[in-house]
Amino acid sequence: MGRLTTHVLDSAQGKPAAGLLVELVRIDGDSFSKIGVFSTNNDGRVDGPLLEGDSLTVGTYELQFHAGDYLRSEGLALPEPAFLDVVPIRFGIADVSSHYHVPLLLSPFGYTTYRGS
């Protein structure tokens, strides 16, 4: 059964990013539909898949990571406005039987992502 998961690591502090707000949006042309709002746990993961089974369909999606709010809550000195606020990662799901893992490595001035396993 296919599923979508995520994981956020705070590379500036060398720890999981706990309490980071993540929004999942489905994109159809110019239309954006919010699917869910999640918060990362103490391991920087969302408790359970963001999508799985019949809710995982072929299409274009976007994860919106609320990095600015998280970094401020950690007491990191950020410029105003912050260089990174909401980090969008747009990706496609082509095979609903696969596991799509979209991790984020985050710091106040940069981020990295990849398709994980």
Please check the confidence at residue 73 and state whether its pLDDT lies above 90.
Answer: yes
User: What pTM did the predictor assign?
Assistant: 0.96
Q: Are 4 and 102 in contact (CB under 8 A)?
A: yes
Domains, the chain, in order of start with CATH, read: 3-113 (2.60.40.180)
What is each CA distance from 4 to 15, 45, 77, in whole angstroms? 22, 12, 33
How far is residue 12's CA from residue 81's CA, in Å, rounded to a whole number? Answer: 19
Q: What is the pLDDT of residues 87-106, one digit of tens each?
A: 999 999 999 999 999 999 99
Q: What is the pLDDT of residues 10-51, one digit of tens each?
A: 999 999 999 999 999 999 999 999 999 999 999 999 999 999
